[in-house]
Amino acid sequence: MARTPLLRALQRLASEHAEASARGLPVEEVRRLRRAEISRRDFLKGAGAVAAGLTLSGTLAGRALTAHAAAPPRIAIIGGGISTKPRRAWEGGCTPIPAVGPTGKPASGVAS
C-alpha cells in the first residue's frame, strides 16, 4: 500500500496503463471511464442522504411511522423466584405464559 502521494500517483499511472493495454483502449479513455465510476465513499454518502431524507419526510409530514402490536406481549419468566418482576409485568398489562414442568403440567407456584 502506497504511503506517499507520489507513490500513489505512480501506482495509479501504472494501473491505468496496464488496463489500457489489456482492454485495447487509449490511456485517456481509461482515465475518463474511471472518473465516471462512483466510488464506495460517494455511494455511502448518497445512501445516507437518501435514508435521512426519507426519515425526515415521514416526520415532517406529521405522520411518524410507528409499529403497533396486534396483542399485548406474552412474557414467560423462568426462574423468577420471589422476584417482584413477574408481578410488575402482570400489572403492566402483559399476559403471562404459564411455565410447563417436565410432566407437561404447569410448574408449581406458577399462576395459570
Of the CA atoms within 13 Å of residue 8, those in its CB half-sphere come to 4
Contact indicator for 89, 101 with CB cutoff of 8 Å: no
29-59 pLDDT, tens digit per residue, is 999 988 888 888 899 999 999 988 887 776 6
75-103 pLDDT, tens digit per residue, is 766 666 555 655 666 566 666 566 666 66
Residue 48: predicted pLDDT:
92
Residue type, 52: A
Residue 77: predicted pLDDT:
64
In sequence order, which residues have a C-beta less than 8 Å from that of residue 64 and are 6 or more positions away? Answer: 58
pLDDT at 3 > cutoff 50: yes
Give the other-Cβ count within 10 Å of 19's Cβ. 16
Q: What angle do CA 78, 86, 99 make, to 5 degrees?
A: 35
Domain positions in the chain: 7-60
- Please state the rounded mean pLDDT for residues 4-22: 93
Residue 57: predicted pLDDT:
75
Contact indicator for 86, 80 with CB cutoff of 8 Å: yes
